[in-house]
Structure 1
Amino acid sequence: MSSIVAVVRYQSPLESVRQAVDRCRGLAQVKPGMRVFIKPNIVFWTKAVAFPKWGVITTSRVVEDMVILLKEKGVDDITIGEGMVTHNPKDVETPAHAFETLGYHTLKRRYGVKTINIFQRPFETVDLGDGIALNFNTDILHSDLVVDLPAMKAHNQTVVSLGIKNLKGTIDIPSRKRCHNPDPVKNLDFMVARLADRLPPVFTLIDGIYTLERGPGPDGSMRRSDILVASTDILSADMVGAKLLGHEPDQVPHLAMAAANRGRPTDLSDVEVVGEQIERLASSHRFDFPYASDETGELPLALAKQGIQGVFYRKYDDTMCTYCSQLNGLTLTAIRFAWKGQAWDRLEVLTGKRMEPTPGMQKTILLGKCMYQKHKHNPEINEMIAVKGCPPRPSDIVKALHRAGIEADPGLFDNIDQLPGFFMARYQNRPEFEEGFFRVESD
């Protein structure tokens, strides 16, 4: 029997979401008294600037519309839960600020929903098979229905981030780090492919009002796309979402693995798409940041074109966890601004959990606890500069860069929460990028 996926153009509040839900019969099995867990995507937040949310974060408009539709079905036990990434893993003020700013507390007062930061709630270990066990938030595990509301984005480690990938925000920090492991088989894609396997029934509504190229963060390229994708089958929704982002499902490793685990094809031959045609709405969203490499250095292409030489900053891989990923872009930005036209002396930066040092480098920065533990006794390293923290402290990164001869501006790291404002400037005075989508009007 074919899975139904609805593809709808977003045109108006509530009615567009209602159309997407109705066309795939998404809430047909919902009854009064059910416990529903809503999982939006709030990958990152800062209190310091007006954060560029478009394509990075699920719109509050879609969250409220789903709450309204559930209330119409007589559902009173609704929980909105997320486990967002913060620079300090123990920070509870930033998630609370995000919930308030995005209007979730207004939804709480208006509709009686509950809002939770999952890091303040218990976790339970779930066996996902093949020797994999991860710790999931207990609230989502004991719900009757999960309403999964991912933002539609390309992702620099997993090609796309849609319904299945969004569920990574319901596991604890040790489990997230476990997903970014150096095993060539049981890698990040292997883990992500299983995230939905032991959960209650999941209804997925992919929020593509805004989409993101080269996500998951604000340094990607944001677009107004006005697309909604809905299905009671999370894999079918994700495969359609991938095609809308310009990627064939069999070229998205975690989707190909999820399909193989379920004995399903990736060509949509067992999926019935209703509503808009995929081909009419699909557009290419690149997921990768290109790098350049020669005898003078290895850097992101944009930095190489700037003429920077003598730095070998190897391309990130899937073993770099989210916490180091946040600092990775900032470190590259610091190198970019520290360049004065004189080549550095064969400096290498290693990240993640898999990289090996290159013989002949004068200095090697080991960025993060994982790299330090792997190479602290490596005889191939001429001069080791270790940043040991997990996650690394920004001040320690500055010290490491200075010791390596890169006069990085400490102010960039002191004001790390201001960095999204740098990317925000690209969208100023563009009317299609509306802040109103991320607010809930107060009573």
Structure 2
Amino acid sequence: MSKPVVSVVAYKDPYHSLREALELCDGLRDFDKSHKILIKPNLVSWDFELPFPPFGVITTSAVVFALVRILHEEGFRNITIGEGPLAIPKPKGRAMFKTLGYEKLRDNYGVELIDFNEDKFEEVDFGNFKLSVARKVLEADKIINLPVLKTHNQCKVSLGIKNLKGCLNRKSKMFCHGKDWSLDHTFPHLMRKLPVALTVIDGIFTLAKGPGHTGYAYRKNLLIASRDALACDVVGAELMGYRAAEVGHLKYFAGLNNRDTDLAGIEIRGEDVEKHRSYIDYDWEWTVDDTGPIGFQRRGITGLAIRKYDDSLCTGCSTMYNPMLIMFMSAFKGKPFPNVEVVSGKRQVASPGFDYTVLFGRCACVLNKNNPDIKKAIALKGCPPSIQELDEALKEAGIFCDYNEYVKYRHYIFNRYKKEDGFDLGLYLM
């Protein structure tokens, strides 16, 4: 049996580098001019109110534009770009398309732009469970998956297979983060049902401690492409310093398909993987006693136990988790907090001995509704809770946050990226 082929190309410019990557792996070999082609980038979210650094978080518009141009030059005319971004409090896909310049692709090439959240979904049976998948995805003849080369604090890496989770409706995305099952054992099943014909990993940037903008991006200057989705993810993981056998969802997907994750079983064309391999940390470090991030301990914060998130924490609450931490830091005035515990997700049960228990999100509220160990519950029932809800609720315990500190933090994480260091917003805002 021939080995799957993965191309690794040093990025110089979007068009020629992507051309080279596709040619090296014969990426368009099975495409027909009559095919309905769906391009699935990673556009997980955008913030239209505060500074948002997209580096390593979402797919660069430069690569999306280059791909559409190449497809058009090759005679493909039935092209759709679709994504289901985080829809809280409402769908933002169309606004993101406009900000990222995608409307030019519609006007110049006739590309259809679809926010899955505004379209229809169809229930698909995966054996032990059912998920609602965007209708446009199921109607495609070929899917070109266009993820980012980034880490993920719940899954270690977020590459092609993980990127398909964006094809689900909100309820199904939340289902994947289950109380009694692993996130790694849900979304990989999508790959077995969808016509993913080509994966192109956008590695112009890579992201540590992802998947969101609170992580730290690095310029990587690579494009990785393959007609074999698993092989592409195996190589992508290697480039960030991870053996695929150590990545839960890649190991699980390989097992489902009687495949292995050995790099030796892949034919790599182009750049030497070992030359570009560097470890990119995926995890946020917590104290040994699970009372909060190491940074809290260094600041001398006491009287507060924030239990580390697990993979039952849904994307919505994950997005608000870091703002929650910043708000707690803003409330610290050098004195101990009033003996507070914070729990989240679908598995964390409140502990005895605390005067106040913050139930972060609807799932934590439901799980701990009748918990006798809770003296005084501060229930944040939002799905996810907002910063304003957190701010108001904590006042009950005499904890006074400062939203301006969160605004300063957002400016800080945006301003640490300098254009002269390669962090060019022009790669996104076309």
1:232 aligns with 2:227: yes
Q: How does 1:27-38 map to 2 (within 5 A)?
A: 27-38=28-39
State the distance in 2 between where 1:137 and 1:419 align.
Answer: 35
State the distance in 2 between where 1:126 and 1:203 align.
Answer: 22
- What letter matches 2:231 in structure 1? S
Deviations 1:118-163 (A, max 9, x none): 111110111222x121111011111110010001101101000000
State the distance in 2 between where 1:76 and 1:56 align.
Answer: 29
1:307 aligns with 2:300: yes
Q: 1:148 to 1:341 in 2, by over 3 A?
A: same
State the distance in 2 between where 1:412 and 1:193 align.
Answer: 39
Residue 175 of structure 1 corresponds to 172
> How far is the alpha carbon of 1:380 from its aligned partner?
1.3
Deviates more, 1:253-262 or 1:25-34: 25-34
State the distance in 1 between where 2:396 and 2:274 align.
Answer: 53
Q: Secondary structure at the match of 1:334?
A: helix
- What letter matches 1:56 in structure 2? V
Residue 199 of structure 2 corresponds to 204
Q: Is the Cα contact below 8 Å between 1:38 and 1:147 reproduced in 2?
A: yes
Which of residues 200, 216, 220 is equivalent to 2:215? 220
State the distance in 2 between where 1:206 and 1:167 align.
Answer: 13
CA RMSD of aligned residues (A): 1.5
1:68 aligns with 2:69: yes
> How far is the alpha carbon of 1:429 from its aligned partner?
5.0
Residue 272 of structure 2 corresponds to 277
Deviations 1:190-231 (A, max 9, x none): 012212110013310000001100101111111110011100
Q: Is the Cα contact below 8 Å between 1:292 and 1:301 reproduced in 2?
A: yes
Residue 143 of structure 1 corresponds to 140
Q: Secondary structure at the match of 1:134?
A: strand
Residue 118 of structure 1 corresponds to 116
State the distance in 2 between where 1:378 and 1:50 align.
Answer: 40
Q: How does 1:39-50 map to 2 (within 5 A)?
A: 39-50=40-51
1:432 aligns with 2:422: yes
Residue 104 of structure 1 corresponds to 102
- What letter matches 1:217 in structure 2? G
Q: 1:303 to 1:430 in 2, by over 3 A?
A: farther
- What letter matches 2:206 in structure 1? T
Q: 1:59 to 1:354 in 2, by over 3 A?
A: same
State the distance in 2 between where 1:190 and 1:162 align.
Answer: 16
How many residues in Structure 1 have an aligned counterpart in Structure 2?
429
Q: Is the Cα contact below 8 Å between 1:52 and 1:421 reproduced in 2?
A: no
Q: Is the Cα contact below 8 Å between 1:218 and 1:420 reproduced in 2?
A: no
- What letter matches 2:45 in structure 1? F
Q: 1:242 to 1:189 in 2, by over 3 A?
A: same
- What letter matches 2:79 in structure 1? I
Q: Is the Cα contact below 8 Å between 1:249 and 1:255 reproduced in 2?
A: yes
Residue 339 of structure 2 corresponds to 346
State the distance in 2 between where 1:32 and 1:225 align.
Answer: 33
Residue 361 of structure 1 corresponds to 354
Q: Is the Cα contact below 8 Å between 2:330 and 2:405 reproduced in 1?
A: no
Q: Is the Cα contact below 8 Å between 1:165 and 1:195 reproduced in 2?
A: no
Q: Is the Cα contact below 8 Å between 2:8 and 2:223 reproduced in 1?
A: yes
Q: Secondary structure at the match of 1:385?
A: strand
1:163 aligns with 2:156: no
Q: 1:333 to 1:197 in 2, by over 3 A?
A: same
- What letter matches 2:32 in structure 1? K
- What letter matches 1:354 in structure 2? R
Q: Is the Cα contact below 8 Å between 1:30 and 1:73 reproduced in 2?
A: no
Q: 1:50 to 1:314 in 2, by over 3 A?
A: closer
State the distance in 2 between where 1:206 and 1:118 align.
Answer: 21
> Percent identity of the aligned residues?
39
Which of residues 359, 363, 370 is equivalent to 1:370? 363
Deviates more, 1:393-402 or 1:239-248: 393-402
Q: Is the Cα contact below 8 Å between 1:52 and 1:420 reproduced in 2?
A: no
State the distance in 2 between where 1:286 and 1:430 align.
Answer: 24
Q: Secondary structure at the match of 1:317?
A: coil
State the distance in 2 between where 1:273 and 1:141 align.
Answer: 30
Where structure 2 has 5 or more consecutive residues not aligned to the other structure, the ranges are none
TM-score (norm 1): 0.94
> How far is the alpha carbon of 1:293 from its aligned partner?
4.1
- What letter matches 2:197 in structure 1? V
Residue 331 of structure 1 corresponds to 324
State the distance in 2 between where 1:375 and 1:282 align.
Answer: 44
State the distance in 1 between where 2:288 and 2:34 align.
Answer: 59
Deviates more, 1:228-237 or 1:79-88: 79-88
Residue 78 of structure 1 corresponds to 79
State the distance in 2 between where 1:145 and 1:274 align.
Answer: 23
State the distance in 1 between where 2:74 and 2:30 align.
Answer: 10
Q: Secondary structure at the match of 1:355?
A: coil
Deviations 1:277-321 (A, max 9, x none): 110011110000001144xx7111112111100100000100110
Q: 1:419 to 1:173 in 2, by over 3 A?
A: farther
Q: Is the Cα contact below 8 Å between 1:40 and 1:58 reproduced in 2?
A: yes
1:288 aligns with 2:283: yes
Q: Is the Cα contact below 8 Å between 2:320 and 2:386 reproduced in 1?
A: no
Q: Secondary structure at the match of 2:162?
A: helix
Q: Secondary structure at the match of 1:260?
A: helix
Q: Secondary structure at the match of 1:196?
A: helix
Q: Secondary structure at the match of 1:242?
A: helix
Residue 408 of structure 1 corresponds to 401
- What letter matches 2:6 in structure 1? V
> How far is the alpha carbon of 1:393 from its aligned partner?
3.4
> How far is the alpha carbon of 1:419 from its aligned partner?
6.0
> How far is the alpha carbon of 1:406 from its aligned partner?
1.6
Q: Secondary structure at the match of 2:291?
A: strand
Q: Secondary structure at the match of 2:305?
A: strand
State the distance in 2 between where 1:317 and 1:424 align.
Answer: 27
